[in-house]
Amino acid sequence: MDKVVSSAAQAVRDVPDGASILFGGFGVVQGWPNSLLLALRDRGARDLTVIFNTPGVGPLSAQLLAEAGLIRKVIASFAAYPTRPTPLEEQIKAGKVALLELVPQGTLAERVRAGGAGIPAFYTPTGVGTPVADGKEHRTFGGREYILETALRADYAFIRAHRGDRHGNLVYRRGGRNLHPAFATGARITLAEVDEVVNTGELDPECIVTPGIYVDRVVRTEHPLAVEEIRALSRRFGRAIHVEPRPDLGGLPPDLMARRAALLLRDGEYVNLGLGLPTLLSNYITGERDVILHSENGMLGFGPLAEEGQEDVDLYNASGQLVSMLPGASFFDSVAAHGMARGGRLSTVVLGAFQVSAQGDLANWNVPESGKGGIGGAMDLASGGARVLVVTYHTTRRFQPKLLRRCTYPLTALRCVKEIVTDLAYITVEPEGFVLWELAPGVSLERVKELTDAPLAVAPGVREMQFG
C-alpha cells in the first residue's frame, strides 16, 4: 500500500470547484502545507469552502487562494488581523466571500474531531452568553449551561507533518502538531505534505501520531522551510507583537506589566498565556518558580522567548513567537490542549482585553467599529473555571476606558475575570466590583479613577507596585 505521490500537483489533481478543504496548522509560516497550497492555486479550483484556524500572512499561506479569488466561504477562528491588511480581509470587505463563520479555536478543533469520529454534535460550555451562542440549542447539565455545536467534515484535508512513511503514517515535531492530527481525520480525502518520506517500518510505531488509515496521499515538500528566514521574521516581529509602550499615559512599559503579572502566578500552577502582552510573562517566570506554561498549539513546559541563534522553528507559542523548551516539556495536539482548558486542568489563564466589566465579563475578540475580529482560543480558555488574569492597557489609544460598568463590545466570556494588571494599576474584581490594590510608580489615584468608567473601590493600604 504505497500512498506516496510524485508531486503536489499530482496530489491535488482531482480537487474540483466547490470543494470544502480543511487546512491544518496554527497559521504560522512554518505550519502550512505550502506545496499543496501552491499546487491548488495553480490548479485554479474555484468557489472553495476553506476551514482553518487562521489564514496566515505572507506569500505561503491561505492568502494565496484569496489573492487568486478562489475562496467562497470561510470557517475559521481568525479571518483578519488588527495590525495588517490581507487579501482575504479585502475579499471579505468587498463581498467576494459569501460566508464567514468565526468559531472558537477549541470548538473548531472539537467539531472536526467529532466529524472524523462519526459524532454528529456535542454540547460545550464555550461561548455561552456570547454571540457564538446565538441561534443554537441550549441545555443545562449539572446546573451549568451548554450550547450544541455540530460536527464539521470536509471533502479534503491538507496537512503538514515532519515525517511520513509509504503507508501514510505520520509523525510531527514539537509544537508543529497542533491542529494537523484532528484535521487529518475530518475529510473524505487527506493529503499530507511531509519534510521527509521514509520506507514503511522506519517510523517507531509508538511515535506515530496520525495512523495511515486517515491519510490517502503523501507528498514530500517541494518548498523546504527557509529556517533562517523564519528565525529572522521571529526576531523582527515576534518580540514586538501587540506590546507597544504607552508613554502618553505615563504608566508602565510592557515588560514591567508582564513582570508584575508574573508575580501573581503561584507555584504549582499550570498557566496559559494568551496572545499579545500575556506572552511576555514567559520571560519573567524564572527557573526557581514551579509554574508550568501551557499553549493552545499543544505544548506544556515551554520557557522564555528564544535567544537569537537558539531558535527552533517548531517551538512556538500561541502568538507564533519562538520560545525555549524546559526540562519536562511535552507535546500534544490542539484537541488535547483545549480539553485541558475546558476540563479544568489549567489553574490560571492570562489574557489580553479590549474591555472588562465590573462583574468580570471579558470582551477581547471584536472591536465593532473596526470591523475586525478573531475569536481564537480565548473563549475555550475562559470556559474551564480557571482564574482569568487580564493584562492590558488601562485605556485605548484614544483614552477610552477599558474597565467599564458594562462591556459594550461582543463578549468572550461571562464573569470570568478575577484580576487585572494594567499600565496604571493592579485591580481585582470582587462581588462589589473593581477594587484597586496597587498604583504604578508615578501614577495618582485620581488619574486611575478618571480613566476607569466604573466605580473603583480602594483597598486599605493601597501601595505602589512592586516588581520583585
- Catalytic sites, residue numbers: 296
Query: How many other β-carbons are positioned within 10 Å of the β-carbon of residue 430?
Result: 13
Q: Do 7 and 40 touch, CB atoms closer than 8 A?
A: no
Alpha-carbon torsion angle 21, 330, 314, 202, nearest 10? -80
Name the nearest CA neighbour of 381 among 23, 127, 60, 3. 127
Q: Distance from first CA to last CA of the chain, Å, rounded?
A: 60
DSSP state of 106: H
Cβ atoms of residues 227 and 235 within 8 Å: no
Distances (CA, A) of 4 to 212, 214, 217: 11, 14, 6
79 DSSP assignment:
S
SS3 372: strand
Give the amino acid at 402. Answer: K
Report the C-alpha gap between 354 and 118 in whole angstroms.
38
Residue of 343, 15, 333, 340 lying closest to 156 (CA atoms)? 15
CA atoms in the 13 A half-sphere facing the CB of 308: 5
Alpha-carbon span 167 to 188, nearest angstrom? 17
Residues ≥6 apart with Cβ < 8 Å to 446: none
Q: Which residues contact 400 (CB under 8 A, 6 or more apart)?
A: none
What residues have CB less than 8 Å from 309, skipping those under 6 apart? Answer: none
Give the whole-angstrom CA distance, residue 396 versus residue 10.
50
> For 244-276, b where at least 16 C-beta lie within 10 A, e where not — what string?
eebeebebbebebbbbbbbbbbeeebbbbbbbb
DSSP code per residue over 276-323: SGGGGGGGG--TTS-EEEEETTTEEEEEEEPPTT---TT-B-TT--BE
- Cα–Cα distance measured from residue 449 to residue 446, given in angstroms and rounded to the nearest whole number: 5
